[in-house]
Structures are given as structure tokens and as C-alpha cells.
């Protein structure tokens, strides 16, 4: 469950309230990345006035199902942290608020009777365009947009760059230097969409 209220609104250090430099030094890279995701989501809670019930997280079994569906060895720390807190979509969910019109939720990433799942749709997009990107077992699809473009990350990096195959770019294009930068941008867009006059830049 999202730890609503544990992040100081005036804290611009990017760390949890009460976490000092000494504590941060003891955290692993994966833990620091996951912490950054939680801080960004807390920002989203505060600025979007979201209820804690909007955050429908994936348990370990659901995360394993996501990993297996895409055939990757692991889920990157940043992606796993997001899905653990807010992975499930549906009406009123944080996923629906942050990614309107996009397929990002756990349900969207998994194949179903009439849906190929995130990886399957990405492969269809490539096939339809005659593109040659090899979706190796190191690449994780994180977002599908209108079954026309997709974004992905390399699972070997805990918070690696986000790449896109778009409608106008037939070669992979790096869109963000990290998954957390991508998430920050998406939350900022959601804030601006709901409250046009609110500050939509993370104060950190």
C-alpha cells in the first residue's frame, strides 16, 4: 500500500521523511530507486488529491506473472516499485489517472483472449512496419499507446533509459534518461491535465 503522508511536502531531497544521508548510504541501488518511485507517487497523491484506494498494487505473484509474460529474467527495480504500489488499473485507479488512453497496467501487459499483451502488441507493431528491433529477453515493454507505438526499458538497469518506437520514428528513440524521469513526466502531465494552474514540476 502507498505510504500516504510519509513524505514531507516541503522535502526536496528526494528521500523519505526521516531518512538521513547515513541511512541513504546503507541502501542498495535498487532500494534507492524504489524509494524515488515512492516519493514521486506521494507527490502525485498530494497534487492530484488521489485517495489511497486508487493505488491497487501488484503482489509478488502478480509481479512474477508480469515477468513471465514478457519473458525477461527480472523486472527492473523502478518498474517493480511502481507496479507493486499502483500496478492494477480500472476505473478510479491511479493507473487510469496517470496514463489515460495508454496500456500500462498489469492487466494491459498480460495477454488475454482478444489481446496479445504488452510484448505481443509491440511485436505486432514491429511486424506490421517491417522493423527489425529484436525484443530480446533484456527488453521490457512498459507502455503501449493506441496499439501504434510503445516504450521499453532494459531490465539489466534498475532505472535505465526509456526508449520508444513511435509512429514517426522507425528506429528506437530514447525519450527519457531513466524510468523515474519518465514517471515524473507522466505524473506532471496528469497534474497539469486535472489542475492546469498547479505546479507540475517535481520540487526536487
Mind listing the pLDDT tens digit of every residue in the chain (204 residues)?
455 443 433 333 333 444 455 566 678 999 999 999 999 999 999 999 999 999 999 999 999 999 999 999 999 999 999 999 999 999 999 999 999 999 999 999 999 989 999 999 999 998 888 877 788 889 999 999 998 999 999 999 999 999 999 887 668 899 999 999 999 999 999 999 999 998 899 987
Residue 27 lies in a domain: no
Residue 119 lies in a domain: yes
Residue 183 lies in a domain: yes
pLDDT at 169: 66
pLDDT at 190: 97
Residue 203 lies in a domain: no
Question: In angstroms, rounded to a whole number, what is the distance separating the alpha carbons of residues 160 and 7?
Answer: 24
Residue 158: which domain range? 49-194
Q: What distance lies between CA 145 and its chain's CA centroid?
A: 14
Residue 133 lies in a domain: yes
Residue 179 lies in a domain: yes
pLDDT at 171: 81
pLDDT at 168: 74
Residue 88 lies in a domain: yes
pLDDT at 204: 74
Determine phi and psi for 177, rounding to 5 degrees: -70, -15
Residue 127 lies in a domain: yes
Quote the number of domains for the chain: 1
For the domain that residue 53 is a member of, what is the CATH number?
A: 3.40.1580
| b/e per residue 104-114 (b: at least 16 CB within 10 A) | bbbbbbbeeee
pLDDT at 18: 42
pLDDT at 5: 42
Amino acid at each position: 500500500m502507498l505510504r500516504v503522508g510519509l513524505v514531507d511536502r516541503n522535502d526536496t531531497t528526494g528521500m523519505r521523511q526521516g531518512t538521513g544521508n547515513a541511512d541513504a548510504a546503507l541502501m542498495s541501488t535498487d532500494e534507492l530507486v524504489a524509494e524515488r518511485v515512492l516519493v514521486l507517487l506521494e507527490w502525485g497523491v498530494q497534487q492530484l488529491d488521489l485517495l489511497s484506494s486508487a493505488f491497487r498494487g501488484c503482489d509478488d505473484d502478480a509481479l512474477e506473472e508480469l515477468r513471465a509474460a514478457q519473458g525477461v529474467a527480472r523486472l527492473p527495480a523502478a518498474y517493480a516499485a511502481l507496479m507493486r504500489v499502483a500496478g492494477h488499473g480500472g476505473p478510479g485507479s491511479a493507473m487510469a489517472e496517470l496514463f489515460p488512453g495508454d496500456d500500462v497496467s498489469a492487466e494491459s501487459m498480460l495477454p488475454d483472449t482478444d489481446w496479445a499483451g504488452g510484448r505481443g502488441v509491440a511485436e505486432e507493431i514491429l511486424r506490421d512496419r517491417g522493423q527489425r528491433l529484436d525484443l530480446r529477453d533484456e527488453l521490457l515493454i512498459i507502455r503501449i499507446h493506441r496499439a501504434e507505438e510503445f516504450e521499453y526499458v532494459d531490465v539489466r538497469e534498475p532505472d535505465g533509459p526509456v526508449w520508444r518506437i513511435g509512429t514517426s520514428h522507425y528506429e528506437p528513440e530514447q525519450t527519457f534518461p531513466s524510468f523515474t524521469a519518465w514517471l515524473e513526466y507522466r505524473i506532471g502531465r496528469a497534474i497539469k491535465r486535472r489542475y492546469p494552474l498547479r505546479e507540475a514540476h517535481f520540487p526536487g
